[in-house]
Structure 1
Amino acid sequence: MTDEVRPRARHRDGGPRLEADRLRALIRANAAVVEHLDLRSLLHGIIESAVTLVRARYGAIGVIGEDGGIEQFLHVGMPPEDVERIGHLPEGRGLLGALIDDPRPIRLTHITDDERSAGFPAGHPPMDSFLGVPIRVRDDVFGNLYLTDHLDGAFAPEDEELAASLAATAGIAIANARLYEESRYRELWSAATARTTHELLSRSGDESLELIADRVRGLADASLVAVLLPTPDDPTTLTVRHACGDATSGVVGLTVVVEGSLAGTAFRTAAPSLTTAIDESGYDTLLPAGEFGPAMALPLRGRDGVRGAIVVVRTAGARRFTEFDLDVAASFAGQAALALERADAAADRARVELLEDRDRIARDLHDHVIQQLFASGLSLQSIRSTLGPGPSADRVEEQIHALDATIRQIRTTIFELRQDPSAGGGLRAQIMRVAREQGSVLGLEPVVTFRGPVETMVGPDLAGDVLAVVREGLANVGRHTRSRQARLEVMADGAWVTVRVDDDGVTEDATTGAVPEPVPGHGHGLRNLRHRAQAYGGGCELQPLAPHGTRLEWRARTTKEAP
């Protein structure tokens, strides 16, 4: 290239001295270009070096996108007020587009003389001479270098050669900068993957999804990230379980059809995918139209299959996602899915260990504690039989009843210990759950006991009524002042089921035996409990207890009476 420049330069004013100056300028320009590793800084450096090298007033680089248009346009020389007045960057038409369509140098003395010129937008400063050369990275055209308004009037052939030589150096520098940027980017994703994998092991449920979404959004420079999981009982749709970023209001909980949507395609095929416009991907029903543009979908694929998908979106007009972006993000999503599986497995192991421990405690209570209490009860009964009527005999009798109540309470505890806390359970488990919920509201823990085959005698329809009675009965305790204790007893005997709720509070209603008016916010109220009982041929009574307290007793047949 320098051999070609030398003979041509002698024909310009200044002779060999000018030739040497230009060669030195080219060397300086090449050196300035290759010192940059950040791609954006490199592109600005190329433009500034080119403008200085060929003595142009304005310079620009148009980066060509996958669709063949100008994806990125960087420029120097134009005052900020002119840029603001123009309002938009070139789109790749006219002479700029001609160089894209046919990547060979274009040199013009007057821009307006060329039929390919599309003119300038309103507010654009006047430009006359033009020089454009392609920038190739390996065998692909990365973009074009545009130079306008030579300070001496027109660009000479030597200027074209110098610009082409600089563009060749720029192509090598861009390739190196890309490799550096990709290496640094991959490093960031790898570090985030390791950190996220470790943190997911100590999180569960929505916390895990939140962590994954937040990490992806930060690394991918995204405007919005949504995590979608299969919709329960509907395999044809995915539901947004977590979203972070812009315009997330109302997104969580919405559904996307698997067939034909960006997220659904990633979920169904277990392969990541890209789109340049989210509105065309089947996801547009979840986002404000026109606000979002480039997007990618990542499958949460583990050893056990695909458990969901992550949709990553940028705002309209933002830089598009590349295949490299897709590759590193998909790798992160895959590792996150594996970490979620390991976290699930760890949680399952912990649950099994807990159940085994609870089962051991339940066996010990049954085999040792209850038997010892039962033996103590028999001893007390034996002592009671030797005593005549009187205070001593009465006290022994009270202790026998207290032991019986304790045994019933321990049996209830054994039953609760043998239930899987994560499972729905039968009626007993559901009653215990309601009792705990109401206890947290009341500020006291109800003592719950069961008698008889409650599980087998109470059918599904009646079970719903029993739970409503338990909830309302315990809520009624809250109406009484100074309640310090509440007892719940559920009994199944023959054809009847009985729910009894005792408390030690004070209420005026308890002195009359009347069923008080329902309290707002406490289900259907106590009056409706009587209607529930009557539907099964039973009844509901509210009675005072001595010295103070209230007993709610609800009875119903285990089979509903015919209307």
Structure 2
Amino acid sequence: MRELMERADAMIHTQGRLQALLRATQAMVEHVELPVVLERIAQAAVELVDAEFGALGVIAADGNGLEAFIHVGMSDSDAVAIGHLPEGRGVLGALIDDPNPIRLRHISDHPRSVGFPRNHPRMDAFLGVPIRVRNEVFGNLYLSNPRRGEFIAEDEQLVTALAATAGFVIANARLLEETQLRQRWMASSAQITAALLDSVEGSPLGMLAEELVSRTTVDRVCVAVPGDDGEMVRIAEARGSGAADLTGAMLDASATEAYAALASGTIRARTGLSHDPRPDALAIRDEALGTGAVMFLPLTTDGTAWGVLAVAREPGRPPFSSAETEIAADLAGRVALALELARAREQHQHALLVQDRARIARDLHDHVIQQLFGTGLELQAVAESVDDAHLSERIRKSVATLDDAILQIRTSVFAMTPRPERDESLRHRILDIAAECSTGLARPVSVSFEGPVDLTVHGQLAADVAAAARELVMNAVKHAEANVIRVTVTSTDAEVRITVSDDGAGMTGARRGNGITNLAARAAARGGTFDIDSEPGRTEASWVVPLEGIAE
């Protein structure tokens, strides 16, 4: 009878533990979100063997340490007091290196035991079991301090069975998460590509970075391009966390794997560690949490990488999975194609604009200027035949106004005429200076040319003339408070002259600073002169130098 009662007690105990295993299994399968599933697995293991502490460590993708650590039984304040969570060293590392169950009466008995960090709760008995997802070791279950004092073989068998079920639950949760992730990334990819193709204004690289940050699961996006010297990387655009400090920065090639991605044309990713021995300049760092995950996606055209997308996450967030890497590679290919199409569209629109400007320039030259010139000749003849001196003078002033209008139209025709990419002619330099200085003015700076300016003025002389023009125009813009500013560049057989006139307040002694002194010195060095005729309401500055020779 005693033997029968003992067997009955054993069966009741076994049935109770099997029921506990079933309850633990049911608790795991009730949720489909992977973070929740992992926490429920750790909680179920603790309850199954009646342990005080439990944890689930997720092994990093490269097999080096842990990338996530979910703990049960330890308060948040205790975790904060300890500092950073385990990374997979000591006994935990032994289970990673050899994924077979480990059961210890005292955790200090293991040869790889290294003790506990400061403020860590006391732990003695230990049970560790790997969790396999198909043929892959996903992570490990760690249990400590059972209420009975030590773990027994039955505990190991139960937790091993729980881990086997957990492997299937994790596989399903990962599959669902990957499917949802693919849907989000593919939708984002389509939206980003459409935005790049539909945009007609702004920087396409800036828009790309903005769209990626707002539509994907990353915290910062940088677009890196190779520097001019081939040993630096320039951050063309940056959006997201800490982007203001990166936009426009030049990084040494050794400071970021973006350069390696450029050179190889292949995707590179870093998981991010609490104490990363090789911090990357494009990763997001936190003093307490360390370095976040970062992925580098080459942007290629015709097999050649011309830029890199560096996408990063904040420290503490999960690393990029293999599915995300695969999807991101597809996104990079779509984006590169969209950027090429956008660039081709921009070039086509520019070509149409150039053609339209050329047509307008021809019409102005062939029709408008000829009509104005003919009208001027006719008015000049009328002025000579009129006996009334006052009327004749008025007609002559009208002819002068027409001549001035012809000069302005010719200047506009020249500015609208297509020119080579690196056109350094003096005319275009002066026009660019006038356009630059006209920003914020009610009326743009007026420019006219007389004589064969580009044929006679070139080289260092052209640079000096452009510098003098810039100084005079800037001086008028900043200090004259003028409504009308006019620049005239005249070239004769002997000299080149720049005249800048305005209707402003006049140039007093206080305004004759270093810039005016430098202009006079520059003209004297070339054997020329610099004169200013100024009074309230009218100022005219003339800078004149000979075409050849420098004063000894």
Question: Scaled by the length of structure 1, what TM-score is found?
Answer: 0.84
Counterpart position of 2:56: 61
Residue pair 2:283, 2:293 contacting (<8 A) in 1 also: no
**Residue 225 of structure 2 corresponds to residue 229 of structure 1:** yes
Counterpart position of 1:540: 530
**Residue 176 of structure 2 corresponds to residue 180 of structure 1:** yes
**Alignment of structure 1 residues 505-544 onto 2, 5 Å:** 505-507=504-506, 516=509, 518-519=511-512, 524-543=514-533
**Residue 445 of structure 2 corresponds to residue 455 of structure 1:** no
Change (3 A) 1:170 1:11: farther
State the Cα distance separating 1:559 from its structure 2 match: 1.6
Counterpart position of 2:436: 437
Classify the secondary structure of the residue corresponding to 1:235: coil
State the Cα distance separating 1:85 from its structure 2 match: 4.2
Residue pair 2:294, 2:310 contacting (<8 A) in 1 also: yes
Percent identity over the alignment is 40
Deviates further, 79-88 or 532-541: 79-88
Counterpart position of 1:550: 539
Counterpart position of 1:31: 26
Change (3 A) 1:401 1:130: closer
Choose the corresponding residue for 1:265, options 239, 260, 263: 260
Choose the corresponding residue for 1:106, options 77, 96, 102: 102
**Alignment of structure 1 residues 60-209 onto 2, 5 Å:** 60-65=55-60, 66-109=62-105, 111=107, 118-201=114-197, 207-209=203-205
Classify the secondary structure of the residue corresponding to 1:393: helix
**Alignment of structure 1 residues 480-495 onto 2, 5 Å:** 483-495=482-494
State the Cα distance separating 1:258 from its structure 2 match: 4.6
State the Cα distance separating 1:310 from its structure 2 match: 2.7
State the Cα distance separating 1:214 from its structure 2 match: 4.4
Change (3 A) 1:299 1:285: closer
Measure the CA separation in 1 of the matches of 2:366 and 2:108.
Answer: 102
Classify the secondary structure of the residue corresponding to 1:525: helix
**Alignment of structure 1 residues 45-60 onto 2, 5 Å:** 45-60=40-55
Change (3 A) 1:388 1:260: same
Residue pair 1:449, 1:490 contacting (<8 A) in 2 also: yes
**Residue 365 of structure 2 corresponds to residue 366 of structure 1:** yes
| Paired AA for residue 54 in structure 1 | V
Change (3 A) 1:273 1:208: same
Change (3 A) 1:399 1:173: same
State the Cα distance separating 1:131 from its structure 2 match: 3.1
Change (3 A) 1:454 1:508: closer
Measure the CA separation in 2 of the matches of 1:127 and 1:304.
Answer: 56
Change (3 A) 1:506 1:258: closer
Residue pair 1:431, 1:470 contacting (<8 A) in 2 also: yes
| Paired AA for residue 41 in structure 2 | I
Q: Which runs of 5+ in 1 are unaligned?
A: 1-8, 510-515
Choose the corresponding residue for 1:40, options 5, 19, 35: 35
State the Cα distance separating 1:109 from its structure 2 match: 4.8
State the Cα distance separating 1:305 from its structure 2 match: 3.0
What RMSD, in angstroms, separates the aligned Cα atoms of the two structures? 3.5
Classify the secondary structure of the residue corresponding to 2:52: strand
Measure the CA separation in 1 of the matches of 2:236 and 2:519.
Answer: 38
Measure the CA separation in 1 of the matches of 2:91 and 2:437.
Answer: 77
Classify the secondary structure of the residue corresponding to 2:63: coil
Deviates further, 317-326 or 327-336: 317-326
Classify the secondary structure of the residue corresponding to 1:14: helix
Counterpart position of 2:495: 496
| Paired AA for residue 133 in structure 1 | V
Classify the secondary structure of the residue corresponding to 2:238: strand
State the Cα distance separating 1:450 from its structure 2 match: 0.9
Measure the CA separation in 2 of the matches of 1:558 and 1:356.
Answer: 35
Change (3 A) 1:481 1:223: closer
**Residue 307 of structure 2 corresponds to residue 305 of structure 1:** no
| Paired AA for residue 531 in structure 1 | A
Classify the secondary structure of the residue corresponding to 2:230: strand
State the Cα distance separating 1:313 from its structure 2 match: 4.3
- Write out per-residue CA displacement over residues 173-224 of structure 1, whole angstroms, 9 at most, x where no aligned residue: 1111111222222222222222222223455898433343345556776565
Measure the CA separation in 2 of the matches of 1:518 and 1:287.
Answer: 51
Measure the CA separation in 2 of the matches of 1:81 and 1:174.
Answer: 29
Change (3 A) 1:98 1:486: closer
State the Cα distance separating 1:319 from its structure 2 match: 4.4
Residue pair 2:295, 2:310 contacting (<8 A) in 1 also: yes
- Write out per-residue CA displacement over residues 265-292 of structure 1, whole angstroms, 9 at most, x where no aligned residue: 1111111112456976695599989853
State the Cα distance separating 1:127 from its structure 2 match: 4.2
- Write out per-residue CA displacement over residues 233-261 of structure 1, whole angstroms, 9 at most, x where no aligned residue: x2333222233455556544443455795
Change (3 A) 1:79 1:286: closer
State the Cα distance separating 1:304 from its structure 2 match: 7.1
Deviates further, 165-174 or 251-260: 251-260
